[in-house]
Chains A and B, each alone.
Chain A
């Protein structure tokens, strides 16, 4: 019986060409998004990898010079884009990609792509994820808004009831029809997406990416299912299809267009992000106190880089100074990133009411384009910077000059440059990122359960 209901319903989607038009637009947008994303990523990653290699070669072959000046030249490291950023670029347009590892201070990644774009960027970024998250539910609504309401209007609901179709079967039949219609469109799309995003990857990465894709698709399937049951629930409770459509539009606009912005503002108010000035001031304050203490403890002097400490101990001083600073910087960055994480949690929990928020978090997390991925790279880059600093200070201590103030006449050569290994960053694996994304998946599943119960309670039992 369920199959019969589904078949009839599907036939109708095809006959009134709703599936063709609405689905066609979605597929077209998906194709454009995929093509553009793939093409951009390919050139970008190749360019970054090449530049980083070149950078290291230059580092190793640099002339003889004072190590501290070599640190001035430093090294550039470039963040590789995760393969699935093609599907969901996440926050990629809004964070930097390049770190210049130099002496003295931890810095943010530079070059935010959105800064090189016009204000139009803020309307949204065309990506596979955007199409599915924003337009996917709309497709469900367009296909399903009159599922029950039209039967009621045409009087066929009474007939269905009279032949003994149970409400549960009716619901499942209609839900099946919607799922099959979506699958007809999206499963081929998913195959193409998988094919495109896996092509050209090295074997190890290919397996990881495939696993990520499967989990990602599961998340989107849950998301669209939520809207299937929600649509059926509303259609079951409204007297005409016109009212059903209006009500569902209100739900969609509130949930998909309005909520992401409103909740972002709310999250920022709840767990405030400090301004750059506040952040810098509070870090500077703590740093200067910590530096003073460290210098006092190690050298018995109160001013840094002053006359009281002979130049030939500056290598040592550099080490003491750096080590003391690392802890302070770590704490401040952890606090800032902790605030971002709390904001993210609030977004995820809002997903119970507005599923798109939980999905966004989940999708970015699995695709490797969320803040945790960014943070992972930032930390690795900073680790490399510290490694470079520590080796340089060590070398300076070793070659502490005996000529008093001839500190800067010392020149290191390629033996030191070679001691610093090339920056080899590996993207985190699927197993590493999965635990952090279980919560959002759980919230999505819970939302699915709620919408299912809602639909069950709303199936018309009388015509």
Chain B
């Protein structure tokens, strides 16, 4: 009895001191619940029948409950989208993971601070441009009649003019190159920060021993930033399936659909982009995709804990 009284009064004392902090986060916390956890709960639609105007959680359980999962797992289009997602992701990782590392190392070799800063400023800029603008610029550069690239290729090398954005063969290449253009400089920031953190004494000692700059890169720079590289690699693997679907949507044309349809755009086409939307089916695919993502991230985090001794999150 007395104990609970003491507990109560200490609770009162605690709240007397901290109530303002709780009051402060009341509204943002509700936002988190409504706008992040609300949709998370909404995933339940993957197991339920949807009826328009009856709320986001469906009207009744699907019969059988995994009906929509069975439905999309049996669809050829789903597997095409799944395969495309995987191929684009892996190719993109293979190309665009090492390039910022190389760029950062080379940029660090630029001795003049002013030149380095200029290059940095210029190379970050594409990161802040909207995907719409990026793809608009791309479509102008590649235009068969007036685009700079086609003019160059046809006048200098005599290569016939092609509308590259329409050709399925070039879709992945263009996806990867635009990613490179937008994010190389930006991602390099992390590696540059890691390189500047290396003790200069190491380089001085190597120089006295007669190591060339190239040897210094191989034996000092790269081993020193290896933990950063590993962390970034694990992070990228965790986010493997998170593709820029906005960019893919903008780059899709009827002719490149066979290679450009990814899970996210397939979901969009089944639901919001369709004349008769299949919300439950789309939600089931979305949930499937989200769960794979969650597994990848947790796996990556687990690996990070094992390898580097500290988890990323």
A joins B in a complex: no
Query: Could you tell me which A residues sit within 8 Å of B by CB distance?
Result: none
Query: Could you tell me which B residues sit within 8 Å of A by CB distance?
Result: none
